[in-house]
Structure 1
Amino acid sequence: MPALQDQCPLVCLNYFLPIPKRGHSMQCRIGCGACCIAPSISSALPLHPNGKPAGVRCLHLDAGNRCAIFLHPSRPAVCSGFQPTEDACGSTDAEALAILAEWERLTG
């Protein structure tokens, strides 16, 4: 059986922002990982029992920035609820990281 992260490499579906959805939805950029780095996550995760601080790379990201718990029941709803949009993810991985970091700064 293939590794879980190889079955579901769309890591950018991992964060729900409490900001109204704007812009056009888009396909996640495989290997981006910005949504698993920039925001804080207050929910417990297996490797982050007290949540994850903003700007800290999630320990569940593999070397290719894919979520190792993508289909696991312990993956928080906040992660599975994120839907990438142009407004949130921009046009590059670096732009996504900058946008999400700014949103975290404004809402944190």
Structure 2
Amino acid sequence: MNRGFQISFFTEQSRRKDGRPMGSWILETARSMGIPGGSLFSAAEGYGRDGWLRSASFFESGQTCVEVRFALSEKDAERLFSRLREEGVDVFFVRIPIEFGMTGEP
């Protein structure tokens, strides 16, 4: 069993970085860094600190809220946060201490 962090980044589908949606950019950047595994989820509805309700049912699908989630070692978490700082990415996150592993591992 490993100890580390579950890290979730929250953004809007319409936010972009280097021409790509921010959520996809974070996921692809982590993958290019060799970080093992991540997922992107689209929310049906949500609101941020600005209080605006965003919904997948609205005509503007770019307003959909997305979450990018990882289960990372402390070392990989620090590498990812360092890269986001270097790239000037400003995105809300939640970092929770966790234990993780594979069910087949001793």
TM-score, length basis structure 1: 0.28
Max Rg structure: 2
Between 1 and 2, higher relative CO (CA 8 Å, sep ≥ 6) is seen in 2
Per residue, is there more strand in 1 or in 2?
A: 2
TM-score, length basis structure 2: 0.28
Per residue, is there more helix in 1 or in 2?
A: 1
